Structure 1
Amino acid sequence: MTAPWRILSLPPIADEIVQGLFAPLGDAAEVAFPQTRDRAGLLAALGDADLVIGDFTGRLALDAEAAAAAPRVSFVQMPSVGTDNIDLEAWAAAGVPVANAAGFNARGVAEWAVGAAFALCRGLAWGDRAVRAGGWPQMEMTQRNPREIHAQRVGIVGFGAIGAEAARLFAALGCAVSYWTRRRRPEAAATYRELDDLLATSDILVLALPLTEETRGLIGPERLALLPERALLVNVARGGIAPDGAVLAALESGRLAGAALDVFEQEPLPEDHPLRSREDVLLSPHAAGGSVQSQLNLLGMVRDNVTAAVQGQDVQNVVNGISNQVIRR
């Protein structure tokens, strides 16, 4: 009799949820969890795992050391779109396909980007804080130059599932939408512009691309200086694409009139970080994709892909260049 596949599920997805996802596999699989949520617990648990469901927070990074500690692992499923917390090359060298959950939260993140843009344009968070503090800043609100979103030129950096959905939603509101990505999309319902031109013509700049060595620092001080005066920044991508220090400097100079940030170079954002004290910044704890619908999409994609691996079927969304056929080691 073939031994059951041992599925190692890393936090923070709750143990009982994972158990429920794979209960239909019966004796074909068993689910395990690290004894401790630390480096030692991860490395100890990898030794007898056949499949791994990663930690989307990045706390338990699946780096080269982790790949070396996993002689039996045949497939890694990341419960996220981003793969900056896993060493894709190391797992590829071991012959292990790594898949992400591409597109699971595209609508949720795109809606957050639009909602954040609304909040920045109208100063909603500022007004809320002022009223809660006992004020009635009716005239001050109008003096802060509130904008109607349809009158804004929107530039989207990155045009994957999230960028494309954000472009569609902004266009539906009447915005002129442009985009930049490394591979031009002829089918896009938005205007393609070279990156520097995009920044120079964007009243609202939305970042929606993955963090890689090529994109780290892509929107730094020089490029932020290309934005029109009093532009707005919405970052639903990754911290480090627009470094926190560069964003802070652009806010202080007035080049940026506001920023909505769901991601940061260091997460959690340090308690004493100056971004926390700025009235012109909308802060979010990397939760733009956390809608109920997105979470259900994610669990379904993880379930389907891991189940396919156990049942000898091809997996989807492999991102490290390895065959989508999982071969048990």
Structure 2
Amino acid sequence: MINAVPRASWRVLALPPVAENRLHEMFDPLGVELHVPATRDNDGVLASLTEVDIVIGDYTGVLGFQADAVAAAANLAFLQVPRVGLDSFDLESLTAAGVPVANTPGVNTRAVAEWALAATFDLSRSVSWADRRMREGGWPQFDTTARGADELGSRRVGILGMGSIGTEVMRLFKALGSSVVYWSRHQRPEGTFVEVDELLTTSDVIIVCLPLTPETQNFLNAERLALMKEGALLVNVARGEIAPDDAVLAALDSGRLRGAALDVYEQEPLSFDHPLRRHENVLLSCHTAGATRQSLERIWSMTVENVRAAVDGRPVANIVNGLGSTIVKRNQQN
């Protein structure tokens, strides 16, 4: 039988870019010993891992957790990821090391879906484009219509990926009267499933909600984007590697795409001189589609509760790598 471990003996390393005093406000009431890396880089992470029992991952993805970090964290008993996506974490190495990993599913579903809707509105009515012309002194009263202004209720929307975000996107667009179809690796009981090629060739708006996996990397390559209905709009709220930047640019320059709204890119932050920054038909966002006050509250509430459960010896929620949900300090396991 495993004896209860005093909370003060649990060392927690927090990697998100959150003010240290705010982190202490959230985690000090748990009675744990909280640490942050001295520098926000891989060397800073590796230097902070000695004797750490629990790691709270970086939701920005800047500080990943790869095999070298797993090897350096000899005492790591639990990794809590304060987001849904796991692509910057080496799950294979963590699982091999016996480290349970949990995420926070569903916390930003509504936020991302609303951003996808807002971005589609913007592209459809050239809202940001007209704002730029107005600030330059122009009056583009008729130009916005000439650019292809559309009411979304008359458009066909194709969703790639029907997880929780895709499902919420479908619900929002259907409420506007849009015709909605989807493709996903697994068919759902709700919605209208079509094959990828049909979705690409018939949709006026395509919204990317797929997780990044080896199968979805470069999913919307140049060949697939060339299948899109001429004048279509692309909205990517997933990962930049799914729709490579160069392929999107080529589709825009060819006229195949009338516009693109991008919250994600192959390399983040997007470089200062990247051609996407200068393209008139692109709406740019900085990987913030899921960041609302409400979603952040949900993320931290779920994260704090899971750390509380871990140090209390209760099962944690949302383990993603098939290991046990009751967390045991390494020096208590034998």
Which TM-score applies when normalising by structure 1? 0.96
1:291 alignment partner in structure 2? 292
Equivalent AA in structure 2 for residue 66 of structure 1: A
TM-superposed deviation, 1:83 = 0.7
Cα deviation for residue 274 of structure 1 reads 0.8
For residue 135 of structure 2, what is the aligned residue in structure 1? 132
- Provide the rounded CA distance (Å) in 1 between the counterparts of 2:194 and 2:305: 38
The corresponding residue for 1:192 is 193
1:46 match: secondary structure? coil
For 1:69-80, list aligned pairs within 5 A. 69-80=72-83
In the other structure, the counterpart of 2:257 is 256
**TM-superposition CA deviations, 1:131-159 (whole Å, max 9, x none):** 11101111212211200011111111111
Q: In structure 1, what is the Cα distance between the partners aligned to 2:306 and 2:200?
A: 38
- Distance in 2 (CA, whole Å) between partners of 1:220 and 1:291 is 31
Report the counterpart of residue 242 of structure 1 in structure 2: 243
Structure 2 residue aligned with 1:323: 324
Residue 283 of structure 2 corresponds to residue 278 of structure 1: no
Check whether the contact 2:28–2:34 (CA below 8 A) recurs between aligned residues: no
Shift of 1:56: 1.6
Cα distance per residue 1:155-195 (max 9 Å; x no partner):
11111111111111011111111111111111x2x211122
How far does the alpha carbon of each residue in 1:31-65 deviate from its partner, in whole angstroms, 9 at most, with x for none?
Answer: 11112222221111111110000112222210001
Corresponding residue for 1:7?
Answer: 12
SS in 2 for 1:191: coil
CA distance in 1, matches of 2:308, 2:210: 29
1:153 is aligned, of 156, 170, 179, to 156
For the 8 Å contact 1:37–1:60, the answer to whether it is kept is yes
CA distance in 2, matches of 1:312, 1:196: 49
Which runs of no fewer than 5 residues in structure 2 stay unpaired?
none
Aligned-partner Cα distance in 2 for 1:35–1:142: 53
SS in 1 for 2:60: coil
Paired-residue identity, %:
55
The runs of at least 4 aligned residues of structure 1 exceeding 2 Å deviation read none
Q: 5+ unaligned residues in a row in structure 1: which ranges?
A: none
Partner SS for 1:214 = coil
For residues 199 and 315 of structure 2, the distance between their equivalents in structure 1, rounded to whole angstroms, comes to: 39
**AA aligned opposite 2:24:** Q
Which residue identity is paired with 1:141? T
Contact 1:11 1:37 (8 Å CA) reproduced: no
Tell me how far apart the structure 2 counterparts of residues 129 and 139 of structure 1 sit (CA, whole Å): 15
Counterpart-to-counterpart distance in 2, 1:248 and 1:322: 42
Q: 1:92 aligns with which of 80, 95, 105?
A: 95
RMSD: 1.2
- 1:86-107 Cα shifts (integer Å, max 9, x gaps): 1000000001011111111100
Q: Which residue of 2 aligns with 1:212?
A: 213
Match of 1:112 in 2: 115
Return the alpha-carbon distance in structure 2 between the equivalents of residues 13 and 96 of structure 1: 24
| 2-structure distance, mates of 1:328, 1:4 | 10
TM alignment of 1:48-87, pairs within 5 A: 48-87=51-90
Normalised TM-score (structure 2): 0.95
Question: What's the CA shift string for 1:98-126, capped at 9, x where partnerless?
Answer: 11111111000100000000000000011
Partner amino acid for 1:134?
G
Distance 2:322 2:196 in 1: 28
Q: Distance in 2 between matches of 1:214 and 1:142?
A: 39
Aligned AA for 1:315?
Answer: V
Q: Do 1:67 and 1:91's aligned partners in 2 also have CA atoms closer than 8 Å?
A: yes
- Structure 2 contact 152–176 (Cα < 8 Å) conserved: yes
Secondary structure of the structure 2 residue equivalent to 1:245: helix
Distance 1:319 1:94 in 2: 15
Structure-2 separation of matches of 1:275 and 1:264: 10
Distance 1:268 1:35 in 2: 22
Which residue type is aligned with residue 178 of structure 1? V
1:177 matched to 2:180? The reply is yes
